[in-house]
Amino acid sequence: MDPSQPPVENYANPNTCLFHVLFKGAALAFYILSALFFNSFVIIFVVTVLLAALDFWVVKNVSGRILVGLRWWNEINDLGESVWKFESLDQESLARMNKKDSWLFWWTLYLAAAAWLIIGVFSLIRFQADYLLVVGVCLSLNVANIIGFTKCKKDAKKQFQQFASQTIASRFQSTVQSAFTLV
Query: pTM of this prediction?
Result: 0.74
Q: What's the confidence (pLDDT) of residue 94?
A: 64
Could you read off the pLDDT of 106-149 as tens digits, one per residue? 999 999 999 999 999 998 998 888 889 999 999 999 999 998 88
Is the Cβ–Cβ distance between 141 and 52 less than 8 Å? Answer: yes
3-state secondary structure 65-114: HHHHCEEEEEEECCCCCEEEEEEECCHHHHHCCCHHHHHHHHHHHHHHHH
Domains of the chain by residue range? 14-181
